[in-house]
A = this chain, B = another copy of it.
Amino acid sequence: MRDANSAFYAALEARDLDAMSEVWEHSDRIVVTHPGWPMLRGWARVAGSWDAIFHNTGYIQFVLTDEQVTIVGDSAWVTLDENILQAGSSDDLSGSKATSVNVFVRSHDSGAADDNWKMVVHHASPVSAEG
């Protein structure tokens, strides 16, 4: 379960759309909310948002803190804080903090491994400085 969450942040740091595609369930029920953004539903819009972010991000690194995993049957969610260091198209690095809930569902597709968790919700929101 933690592996799926780690794979998500690895794909994000690598700005690798193929790796990000592997992380997510490809369905209409999935949802992404980037910090300050409106909610986007369905794989096409989710993928489009990652593509846009990856193109506008020169560098991004996450330090994850206060991580907690809850598993209930074939659902699981990870809640954590994201301490983000990033650069856009220029080389200037800036830091920010977000807090996130990531929901996963275990897939039982034939041929899938027992521990085949797919992301269905990523909701990250900005935390004010004094947080």
Q: Which residues of A contact B (CB under 8 A)?
A: 29, 31, 33, 35-39, 41, 66, 68, 70, 72-75, 77, 79, 81, 99, 101, 103, 105, 120-121, 123-128, 131
State which of B72, B74, B127 has its C-beta within 8 Å of the C-beta of A36.
B127
Contacting pair A36 B125 (CB below 8 A): yes
The closest CB in chain B to the CB of A127 belongs to B38
Contacts of A75 in B (CB 8 A): 72-73, 75
Contacting pair A39 B74 (CB below 8 A): no
- Least CB distance from A16 to B in Å reads 25
Q: How far is the CA of A115 from the CA of B118 in the complex (A)?
A: 26
Q: How far is the CA of A81 from the CA of B124 in the complex (A)?
A: 15
- Least CB distance from A108 to B in Å reads 11
